[in-house]
Structure 1
Amino acid sequence: MSLKKSSIIIIIILLIDQISKIYVKTHFVLGEDVPVFNWFKIYFIENDGMAWGTKISDFLSIMSDRTAKKVLTLFRVVAIFGIGYWLYSATKNKNPKILIMAIVFIFAGALGNIIDSVFYGIWFNDSHGQLATFLPKTGGYDTLFHGKVVDMLYFPLYKGYLPEWLPFFGGKFFTFFEPVFNIADMAISTGFIMLIVFNKRAFPKKEESR
C-alpha cells in the first residue's frame, strides 16, 4: 500500500472522529446520554488522562494534575512522530499490507486524540451544565495542551449482580462493557488487534539464503 493511499484512509478516519466529537461537544451537556439501543448509548464524557481515565499523577503523587496532563500530551505528540516514521518506513520498504493498515489505524487514532488534548481547551468552552460553543468569544475552558478527550460510545451490554459464589466480586453490581470511548480509540484498538491476530503476516520471517 502506498503512502498516498494510507494518507487518504488516515484523513477519512480523522474526519469521522473529529466530526463525531465536535457534534457531541456542541450538542450534548457533559454527562448527557441518549439511548440508541438497549445495549448502546451516546454518552458524553471527557477524559483528562490516559486509557480508562488513568492519570500520570495517580502514579507520581509529586506531580500535579496539570503538569501530568501536559507531560502526557507532549509524550503523545512525540509518539505520533515515531508512529508516522514507522508508517513512512513501512510504505517505502513495501512491507505487508496488513502491517501498513494496522499502523494507519494506530496513527489515525492517536492523532485524533492528540487533537483533542492539544486544541480542545482553546477551541471550546466548558460543557458543564451548558452546550459548548466552538471558538467562544470569552475563550476556551483551558489552555493549549490541556484539552480533554471527548468520549461518547457506550455499550452496556450487560448489567446485573454477579453470583454470590464468585470470589472477591460475588454479589457486586457489574456492567459489561463499562468504558466509554470514541472513534479514535476504536481505530487504535483495531490496529493493535490486527498486529496481534495477524502477527505472522504482518512480520513475516525472512527466508534464510542457502
Structure 2
Amino acid sequence: MTKKNIAILTVIVAILIDQISKIYVKTHFTLGEEVVVFADWFKIHFTENNGMAWGFEFGGRGGKLFLTLFRLIAVSGIVYWLTQSIKKNIHSGVIIAISLILAGAVGNIIDSVFYGIIFDSSHGQIATLFADKPYGEIFYGKVVDMLYFPIYEGESFTFFNAIFNGADSWITIGVALLFIYNKYAFPKESEA
C-alpha cells in the first residue's frame, strides 16, 4: 500500500469512527446523560462545548467564528504538511501521525460548522438528525464530547476529569506518534 493510500485510509476511517460515535451519542442520549462502560473509571457522558478544550469559551460568537475559521486555515496547513511528507517519502509512522491529526481537526470542524444546522437541541431531549428546527446556524455548531475516564473520584477531586471525543483522541495519538517518530518527522539539516 502506498503512503498516499495509507494517509487517505487513515483519515477516512478516523473521521468515520469519530462522526458515527458522535451522531450515535447525540441521537441516543440527552445532554448530561451518562452510562458506565467499565467499572467506574470509563463512562460515556454526553456533553457539548463551543469547541475549545475543557469547554473554555473564546470571546462569544465572534470568538467561536474566529476559532472555526482558524481551524479551517490550520487544516490547510496540515494537508500541505501531509502531502509534502508523502512526496518526501517520510516514514509511514509520520504519515499516520499527520493523518490522525488531520482527521481529528476535520472531525471537530464538522461539528462546529454543520451540527448547528442539522440537529435540534439536546437539552432535555434526544436530538433529531436533520431536524426541522435546528438549534443553531452554520459555523456555530457545538462539538460533541462523550469519552470520560474519571480514574479517581473523591469528594472534592477527580483525577482526569476531561470529557473528550474521537477527534480529540486522534489528535493526541497523532502528536504522540510524532514524538515517537520525531527523527523522521523533524530531521536535522545534516540528516536531511
When the two structures are superposed, what TM-score results if normalisation uses the length of structure 1?
0.86
Bigger Rg over Cα: 1
**1:56 and 1:208 mapped to 2: Cα distance?**
41
Task: State the shift of 1:208 in Å.
Answer: 6.5
What is the letter of the counterpart of residue 202 of structure 1?
Answer: A
- 1:82-112 per-residue CA deviation (whole Å, 9 max, x = no partner) reads 1011111110111122221110110000000
Deviation at 1:207, TM superposition (A): 4.2
Q: Secondary structure at the match of 1:56?
A: coil
SS of residue in 1 equivalent to 2:138: coil
Could you list the structure 1 runs, at least 4 aligned residues long, displaced by more than 6 angstroms after superposition: none
Q: Determine the C-alpha separation between the residues in 2 that align with 1:207 and 1:83.
A: 25
Shift of 1:200: 2.1
Aligned residue for 2:100? Answer: 105
Aligned equivalent of 2:160: 177
Structure 1: unaligned runs, 5 residues or longer: 58-64, 162-172
| SS across alignment from 2:154 | strand
Rounded to whole Å, the distance in 1 between the matches of 2:89 and 2:184 is 13
> What residue number does 1:21 align with?
22
Which of 71, 90, 101 lines up with 1:95 in the alignment? 90
Query: Which residue of structure 1 lines up, in the alignment, with residue 146 of structure 2?
Result: 152
TM-score normalised to structure 2 length = 0.94
Q: Say whether the 8 Å CA contact 2:46–2:145 is kept in structure 1.
A: yes
Aligned-CA RMSD value: 1.6
- How many percent of aligned residue pairs carry the same amino acid? 55
C-alpha displacement at 1:206, in angstroms? Answer: 5.0
- The answer to whether the 8 A contact 2:51-2:112 is kept is no
Question: CA–CA distance in 2 between the matches of 1:116 and 1:16?
Answer: 14
Alpha-carbon distance in 2 for matches of 1:146, 1:76: 13
Name the CA shift for 1:187/1:22 in 2 (closer, same or farther; >3 Å). same
